[in-house]
Structure 1
Amino acid sequence: MSTATVEKETTGTPDGGSAASHKISVTFRLRRFNPEVSAEVTWQDFRIDIDPKERVLDALHQIKWEEDGTLTFRRSCAHGICGSDAMRINGRNRLACKTLIKDLNPAKPITVEPIKGLTVLKDLVVDMEPFFQAYRDVMPFLITSGNEPTRERRQSSEDRERFDDTTKCILCAACTSSCPVFWNDGQYFGPAAIVNAHRFIFDSRDEGGEQRLEILNEKEGVWRCRTTFNCSEACPRGIEVTKAIQEVKRAIITRRF
């Protein structure tokens, strides 16, 4: 196991203090995998000096830019909107861009590894295609009949509120990859796909609810859910994922939505 160390900076701060005085030494234990080099998974420690108010994503940037350019991970907006930097941090699914180092007990090594249930391509990057295929399979778009309208399709505030919670999904896969059923059976649609089906099933303007319910009533649909609440706990947007799944189950039974 190799260790990399960064020397403390001595640049000044606007209040006349030293930037280094705000930093602490933190060990990041990263799961490494490069199929072009070896089929074996290894763990590598990097000890860096960083402000504890920084995010895990900032630490990964520092490691990649200053210590090991081969480190591979996904990120885009860095503001909790794109969902691309979901990973397991200290054993929990989180967004690296929304997780502050000071909230992770930095006195101990902070472990970072890829989300579970999806094939690891390299380091912290997984193959998201099965996840997105399940998303596409539930038809996550408005289905209507008749001619194209000449004005927007209006609905009441109450109708909009009915599915407001599930519009917050950013497709980060944190919920799906926290699900034990998904870990053991990659055929399960998973929480994220069901959440995005919910968003349209309960939309008063949509006419494809019956089709989606039939899809989710199949063997690998909502009935595989074991209500462990892992998905709700993992969601970085606070969506009540388990509640949404239960509402879809109820709609399948009652055909009321």
Structure 2
Amino acid sequence: MEPARHLAAQGWGLTIVPVDGMGRVSAEAVAEAVRPDTALVSVMLANNEVGTLQPIAEIATQLSGSGVLLHTDAAQAVGKVAVNVDALGVDLLTVAGHKFQASKGIGALYVRQGTPIRQILFGAGHERGLRPGTENVPAIIGLGVAAELAARHLAQPGSTLRDRRDQLHGRLGAAIPGLSLNGHPEDRLPNTLNVSFPQVSGQGLLAAASDAVMASVGAACHAGESAPSGVLGAMGLDTTRALGAVRLSVGWQTTEDEITRASDALIHAWQHLATGG
């Protein structure tokens, strides 16, 4: 959003396509928003707060033959779901290594052959002239190894991530009347659970459960902000429900015992704050 707003401030035309109540944009709405002078469409593959998956392949089909470039931010999706640039039909795709257990500070940009692209950093001709500066070889190797390990996890039968996520959701829902799921119930990341706790603020709840649970009320990069999430606002959630939202994530190493401890801590914190019990 911020790079798009920066371009708009420089005089570029910017169209923001709205999402539905589950955080999903429609391919048809994207196509209808395209103008004769549109240069680029950018849609995240998976939302980083509610986990909703976007219909990137459908959008690519809608844009086919228009000459408009399609970029997707796949940072949140890689390592959790299968990601294939040809199946998606994108021209550009970005990856953040720390989202799938590579080190912080390393990422990758996929550029389909023939896609026009110009550098925004200037200097030496490293990385095909797009990003000057000596390459961080250990981090690059780590990114490759992390990608190999992620591919092995995704190739295993069943979905440990989804099972752990659903176990957590089930335990919370059984004990907390009025718990609300935020995001698409099916088309979402298998590791992400965004729920609104009734009668409490998400920040207050996490503070009360901080001895046992490490989580955030929204995007980690906006941790500490008390205003309702812009993502939940775009989905049309009212202020009370948005302020009660918490984003919970599980990982490949998360155990059933950890799910039990975390859910018990959250339930106890909610009971203490909401009912005084």
TM-score range, shorter chain: under 0.3
TM-score by structure 1 length? Answer: 0.27
Q: Which has the larger radius of gyration?
A: 1
TM-score by structure 2 length? Answer: 0.26
- Bigger RCO (CA 8 Å, 6+ sep): 2
